[in-house]
A and B are shown apart, each in its own frame.
Chain A
Amino acid sequence: MAKKIMIVDDSASIRQVAKMTLLAEGYEVIDACDGLDAINKLDEGKINLIISDLNMPNMDGLSLLKKVKEMGQYRFTPFLMLTTESGADFVSQGKQAGAKAWMIKPFKPEKLINTVSRILA
Chain B
Amino acid sequence: MVDLSEIQAVFIEEAKELVLQFEESLLAIESILPNSDDEIINEAFRAAHTIKGSAGVVGYDHIVDFTHFVEATMELLRNHALNPCEKLISTLLECNDHINALIKCLESNEDFPPALTDTEAGLLESLKSYSGLQHQTSSEQTVVENQEATQSFRVSAQFYKACMVDGFDPLSIIRYIESKGSTVEVDWLIDEVPALNAVTPDELELCHFRMQLEIHHSTREDIDEAFEFIAAESNIEIAPIEDDKKPTLVKTDKQPTKNNKVKPKNPERMMKIPAQKLDELVNELGELVIVSAALEDHTKTIRDSALTEIVEHIQQLVSDVQSSTLQLRMVQIGETFNRFSRVVRDTSKELEKQVSLEIMGAETELDKSMVEKIVDPLTHLVRNAIDHGMESPAQRADSGKPEYGTLSLKAFHDSGSIVIEISDDGRGLDKEKIKEKAIQRNLISPDTELTDKEIANLIFEPGFSTAEKVSNISGRGVGMDVVRKNIEAVRGTVSVESVEHQGTCFQLRLPLTMAIIDGFMVSVADAKFVIPLDMVTECIELPLGNGATRQTDYINLRGTVLPFIHLSRIFDLPTNPKIRPSIVVVKYGQLRAGIVVDQLLGEFQTVIKPLGALFEKMSGISGSSILGSGDIALILDVPKLIHDFAHEPESRKLANS
Query: A contacts B directly in the complex (CB < 8 Å)?
Result: yes
List residues of A whose CB falls within 8 A of some B CB. 9-14, 16-18, 20-21, 24, 53, 55-58, 60, 62, 76, 78, 82, 84-90, 92-93, 95, 98, 100-102, 104-109, 111, 117-121
The 3 closest A-B pairs by CB, nearest first: A106-B56, A121-B172, A13-B54
A106 and B52: CB pair below 8 A?
Answer: yes
| Partner among B2, B52, B139, B257 whose Cβ is within 8 Å of the Cβ of A24 | B2
CB distance from A14 to the nearest CB of B (A): 5
Closest chain B residue, CB of each to CB of A37: B269
Which residues of B are found within 8 Å of A16, using beta-carbon distances?
7, 10
**Interface on chain B toward A: helix, strand, loop, or mixed SS?**
helix
- Does chain A have a CB within 8 A of B301? no
From A10, A11, A84, name the one whose CB has the most chain B CB atoms within 10 angstroms.
A11
B229 and A100: CB pair below 8 A?
Answer: yes
- Kindly list 9 other residue pairs between chains A and B, CB separation below 8 angstroms, not including A13-B10, A84-B71: A10-B50, A14-B57, A18-B57, A95-B232, A101-B228, A102-B229, A105-B57, A108-B57, A117-B179
A105 and B56: CB pair below 8 A?
Answer: yes
- Does chain A have a CB within 8 A of B167? yes
Q: List 8 A-B contacts (CB under 8 A).
A: A21-B2, A76-B167, A86-B72, A92-B254, A104-B140, A117-B179, A118-B225, A118-B229
Per-residue 0/1 for B1-37: is the Cβ within 8 Å of any A Cβ (1 yes, 0 no)?
1110001001101110000000000000000000000
| Partner among B1, B54, B166, B173 whose Cβ is within 8 Å of the Cβ of A100 | B166
CB distance from B609 to the nearest CB of A (A): 35
The CA-CA distance from A106 to B262 in the complex, in Å, is 22
- Does chain A have a CB within 8 A of B480? no
| Partner among A20, A92, A106 whose Cβ is within 8 Å of the Cβ of B7 | A20
Contacts A12-B10, A86-B72, A90-B257; A78 near B53 (Cβ below 8 A): no
B256 and A92: CB pair below 8 A?
Answer: yes
B14 and A12: CB pair below 8 A?
Answer: yes
List residues of B whose CB falls within 8 A of some A CB. 1-3, 7, 10-11, 13-15, 45-46, 49-50, 52-59, 64, 71-72, 75, 139-141, 166-167, 169, 171-173, 175-176, 179, 225-226, 228-229, 232, 252-257, 259, 262, 264-265, 267
The CA-CA distance from A88 to B256 in the complex, in Å, is 8
The CA-CA distance from A24 to B59 in the complex, in Å, is 18
The CA-CA distance from A82 to B139 in the complex, in Å, is 17
The CA-CA distance from A67 to B253 in the complex, in Å, is 25
A88 and B57: CB pair below 8 A?
Answer: no
The CA-CA distance from A27 to B252 in the complex, in Å, is 34
| Partner among B53, B71, B173, B175 whose Cβ is within 8 Å of the Cβ of A14 | B53
Which residues of A are found within 8 Å of B176, using beta-carbon distances?
117-118, 121
Closest chain B residue, CB of each to CB of A119: B172
The CA-CA distance from A56 to B50 in the complex, in Å, is 9
A106 and B57: CB pair below 8 A?
Answer: yes
A11 and B54: CB pair below 8 A?
Answer: yes
CB distance from B1 to the nearest CB of A (A): 7
The CA-CA distance from A57 to B263 in the complex, in Å, is 7
A11 and B53: CB pair below 8 A?
Answer: yes
B57 and A58: CB pair below 8 A?
Answer: no
Which residues of A are found within 8 Å of B11, using beta-carbon distances?
13
Contacts A14-B53, A21-B2; A92 near B58 (Cβ below 8 A): no
